């Protein structure tokens, strides 16, 4: 049985679905367990551990920066993506009778480079037969299978995942395809809803009883991570039930909180209304109106919240389509595409096997040489003339006239324009019936022999009586005309050899061939261009420039004055110092004399 396997790996969760009845599916965390000595595998949703796990690769395909695991090993994101795909294929197809046809759905916003890089990584992982398709294509395939063929219209794919919102516009019907560039926003998603629910739970618990804890304590951090995961599970549970119980287990606190769907919906209502504005922006950016929307397809785990469909339908005034498990919609659509590919491949193989004998016969027939067809004889001028209702003689005259024109053109005596317009080039009706039919060049030996034969022998036998012994007219290569005596083969004496044509006797049966004098081309004198005399520029003598000699000022008088002035200052200073020293000496002498009693 031909079975398709669809895979979608997101930022937080990875889903795989097998196109069977009922659908067989698997949902895991987008985190690989790379413990040494064990086969790589995706962990369960309930597994809260982080040791030896590596994630975040789904959003980094094509990024040259490698990811580092706990053991210090580096990995390319596309290789981790391919490893996760191989793990899902091995787990889902473990009980299948035949290997399924695998189709991997990647985000529609991906570039061709990212898809190509992922394809190369899948080849390295041993998954060379995997087909890559955009998530929007897989979604529309699911819509066609579950809702029937779609008419021409506009569908909006509202993909609300764990970490982002993707809005894609799709044309349906005969003109199916993506419209516009779509919108990718990380402001909306299930993680934001989980945070709002967790904050609500903590506020509820703190209002009922008092407790204190250290947010930086490792035990407290682990307890908060566990509480957030339980809030996410409660959100999913409230998508199908109206109420649920949530256990809160923190250091110094152990209690249980009851949650109701209406309470959670009030927490996420404002965010969902803002996401509707993103849809409007996407429609406007594509040059369309909101009224052009025919339906909205809900995709993604967070789109399972009943309030999402309610707000989308009421705000956009359009019907909403959603599967029983929106988180599996893309994977199921990819599986359906895989089944289509498998069926088409099987049909092609069957058609190829059925066509083998026919192809062998066709190849043998092609290889056999094809006999060449027997060439059919060309019709004679007489047969052609009879078929067209024209007499043989008249046909021969027209052919002869054409030969004459061609001969004149070959001899250079007539230009093309003259041959097409001159009245002298076409024989008259009476002469055309008696013209000579020839197929050789005039002026040659064979032309003379053919002309003699044509002159003595008619089309239907010998020439009429009275025409024997008549001179034969021959057109020479230069356009002149010569009459030949049939008895001797020599030119008739006295017959014109050129110039204007002469009229032969009416009863000799010879045609009158005009002779056109050669036209010489005009001689064009050689053109001598006039000599151009360049004007003489007078020789102007420019005197050389001599800069003036610079004479510096004389410093003799200034130096003498400065010398005398300095000499006076030094002399005065010396006298002053001498007087001061003399006074000091006298004073010291008086003091010493007073001390010694003198």
pLDDT at 432: 39
Return the beta strands (E) in 394-487 as ranges.
Answer: 457-458, 461-462, 472-475, 481-484
pLDDT at 207: 75
Six token digits for residue 586: 């006298």
pLDDT at 492: 61
Q: Which residue's entry shows tokens 């239907």?
A: 460
The pLDDT of 23-43, averaged and rounded, is 91
Q: Which residue's entry shows tokens 């991997």?
A: 104
Helix-strand-coil split of the chain, %, nearest 5: 45, 15, 40
Q: For residue 14, is pLDDT > 60?
A: yes
Domains (range + CATH), the chain: 4-190+268-341 (3.30.420.40), 384-484 (no CATH)
Q: Which residue's entry shows tokens 């560039």?
A: 181
> Do 312 and 320 touch, CB atoms closer than 8 A?
yes
pLDDT at 541: 53
Question: What tens digit of pLDDT does each residue of 137-191 get?
Answer: 999 999 999 999 999 999 999 999 999 999 999 999 988 999 998 999 999 999 9
pLDDT over 70, % of the chain: 58
Q: For residue 580, is pLDDT > 70?
A: no
How many CB atoms are located within 10 Å of the residue 525 CB?
A: 5
pLDDT at 546: 58
Res. 349 pLDDT band, cuts 50 70 90: confident
Distance CA(555)–CA(300), nearest Å, equals 103
CA angle 86, 340, 335 (to 5 degrees): 40
pLDDT at 416: 35
CA angle 587, 588, 589 (to 5 degrees): 90
How many CB atoms are located within 10 Å of the residue 107 CB?
A: 24
- HSE toward the beta carbon, residue 571, CA cutoff 13 A: 6
**Helix, coil or strand: residue 366:** helix
How many CB atoms are located within 10 Å of the residue 153 CB?
A: 14
pLDDT at 61: 97
Q: For residue 28, is pLDDT > 80?
A: yes
Q: For residue 370, is pLDDT > 60?
A: no
Q: Cα 377 to chain center, whole Å?
A: 57
pLDDT at 424: 42
Please tell me which residue, 315 or 585, carries the higher pLDDT value: 315
CA angle 326, 332, 338 (to 5 degrees): 160
How many CB atoms are located within 10 Å of the residue 568 CB?
A: 10
Cis, bond preceding 22 (omega within 30 deg of 0): yes
- For the whole model, what pTM was predicted? 0.60
Res. 359 pLDDT band, cuts 50 70 90: very low
């Amino acid at each position: 049985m031909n079975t398709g396997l669809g895979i979608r790996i997101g930022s937080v969760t990875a889903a795989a679905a097998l196109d069977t009845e009922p659908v067989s599916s698997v949902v895991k965390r987008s985190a690989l367990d790379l413990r040494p000595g064990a086969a790589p595998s995706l962990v369960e949703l309930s597994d809260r551990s982080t040791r030896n796990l590596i994630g975040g690769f789904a959003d980094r395909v094509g990024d040259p920066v490698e990811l580092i695991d706990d053991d210090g090993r580096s990995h390319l994101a596309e290789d981790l993506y391919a490893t996760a795909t191989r793990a899902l294929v091995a787990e889902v197809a473990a009980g299948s009778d035949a290997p399924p046809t695998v189709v991997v759905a990647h985000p529609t916003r991906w570039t061709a480079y990212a898809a190509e890089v992922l394809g190369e990584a899948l080849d390295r992982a041993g998954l060379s037969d995997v087909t890559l398709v955009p998530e929007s294509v897989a979604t529309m395939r699911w819509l066609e299978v579950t809702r029937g063929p779609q008419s021409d219209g506009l569908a909006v794919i509202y993909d609300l995942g764990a970490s982002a919102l993707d809005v894609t516009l799709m044309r349906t019907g005969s003109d199916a395809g993506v419209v516009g560039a779509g919108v990718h926003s990380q402001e909306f998603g299930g993680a934001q809803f989980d945070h709002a629910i967790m904050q609500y739970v903590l506020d509820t618990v703190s209002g009922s009883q008092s407790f204190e804890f250290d947010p930086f304590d490792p035990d407290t951090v682990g307890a908060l991570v566990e509480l957030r995961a339980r809030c996410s599970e409660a959100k999913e549970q409230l998508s199908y039930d109206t109420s649920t119980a949530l256990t809160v287990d923190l250091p110094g606190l152990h209690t249980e909180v009851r949650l109701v769907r209406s309470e959670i919906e009030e927490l996420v209502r404002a965010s969902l209304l803002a996401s509707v504005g993103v849809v409007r922006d996407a429609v406007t950016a594509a040059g369309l109106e909101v009224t052009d929307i025919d339906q909205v397809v809900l995709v993604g785990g967070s789109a399972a919240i009943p309030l999402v469909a309610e707000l989308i339908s009421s705000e956009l005034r359009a019907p909403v389509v959603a599967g029983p498990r929106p988180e599996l919609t893309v994977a199921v659509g990819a599986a359906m595409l895989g089944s289509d590919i498998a069926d088409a491949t099987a049909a092609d193989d069957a058609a190829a096997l059925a066509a083998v004998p026919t192809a062998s016969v066709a190849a043998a027939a092609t290889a056999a040489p094809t006999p060449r067809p027997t060439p059919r004889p060309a019709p004679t001028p007489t047969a052609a003339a009879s078929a067209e209702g024209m007499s043989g003689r008249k046909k021969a005259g027209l052919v002869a006239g054409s030969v004459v024109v061609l001969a004149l053109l070959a001899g250079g005596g007539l230009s093309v324009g003259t041959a097409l317009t001159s009245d002298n080039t076409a024989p008259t009706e009476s002469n055309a019936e008696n013209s000579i039919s020839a197929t050789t060049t005039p002026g040659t030996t064979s032309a003379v022999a053919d002309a003699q034969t044509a002159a003595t022998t008619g089309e239907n036998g010998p020439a009429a009586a009275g025409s024997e012994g008549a001179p034969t007219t021959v057109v020479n290569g230069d356009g002149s005309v010569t009459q030949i005596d049939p008895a001797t083969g020599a030119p008739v004496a006295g017959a014109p050899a050129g110039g204007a044509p002469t009229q032969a006797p009416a009863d000799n049966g010879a045609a009158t061939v005009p002779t056109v004098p050669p036209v010489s081309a005009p001689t064009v004198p050689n053109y001598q261009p006039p000599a151009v005399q360049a004007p003489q520029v007078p020789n102007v003598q420019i005197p050389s420039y001599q800069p003036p000699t610079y004479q510096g000022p004389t410093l003799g008088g200034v130096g003498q004055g400065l010398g005398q002035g300095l000499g006076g200052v030094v002399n005065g200073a010396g006298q002053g110092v001498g007087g001061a020293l003399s006074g000091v000496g006298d004073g010291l002498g008086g003091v010493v004399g007073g001390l010694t009693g003198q």
